[in-house]
């Protein structure tokens, strides 16, 4: 009964449209409506390049099934989660896009595994690690 993989990350925010815009416009992810919600101010799915739901953005006022047993408490920054890492391609294009949108990116290199990491913060304060495996 092993874990097969990470399904998605959920971000609850008072401004889903701003958060969606960051993941769509800055990081280049695709937006998809969720369960009949067609209003980005309520939330939606951010899809990876293969069309899989990677990030679920939801308004902090919308009820979630777990709220009755595990009430959600808003936190600042990344809360208990330190960061969310995303596998990426084309570091040069991403670096240019981040600069175009005024996002500060901190670069870290891990030469042992041919990895270049860019760390940025999304509009909710969550630290996002963009990973580029380069020869």
- How confident is the model over 3-23, as pLDDT tens digits? 678 889 999 999 999 999 999
17: exposed, middle or buried (C-beta count within 10 Å: 0-12, 13-18, 19+)? middle
Q: What percent of the chain has pLDDT over 70?
A: 96
Complete domains list, the chain, with CATH: 9-133 (3.10.180.10)
For residue 6, which of 71, 51, 43, 52 has the smallest C-alpha distance? Answer: 52
Pairing of strands 9-13, 30-32: unpaired
**pTM (2 d.p.):** 0.86
Say which DSSP state 26 is in.
Answer: I
Q: Which helix (H) or strand (E) holds 128?
A: strand 127-133
Helices (H) and strands (E) in the chain, counts: 2, 8
Residue 2 has what pLDDT?
A: 80
Asked if pLDDT for residue 58 goes beyond 80, the answer is yes
Do 56 and 9 touch, CB atoms closer than 8 A? Answer: yes
């Amino acid at each position: 009964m092993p874990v097969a993989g990470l399904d998605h990350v959920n971000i609850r925010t008072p401004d889903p449209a701003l958060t969606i815009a960051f993941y769509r416009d800055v990081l280049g992810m695709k937006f998809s409506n969720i369960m009949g919600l067609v209003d980005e101010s309520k939330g939606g799915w951010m899809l990876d390049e293969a069309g899989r739901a990677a990030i679920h953005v939801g308004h902090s006022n919308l009820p979630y099934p777990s709220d009755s047993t595990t009430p959600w408490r808003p936190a600042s920054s990344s809360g208990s989660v330190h960061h969310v890492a995303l596998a990426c391609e084309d570091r040069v294009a991403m670096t240019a896009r981040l600069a175009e949108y005024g996002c500060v990116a901190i670069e870290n290199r891990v030469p042992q595994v041919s990895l270049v990491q860019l760390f940025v913060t999304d509009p909710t304060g969550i630290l996002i690690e963009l990973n580029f495996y380069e020869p």
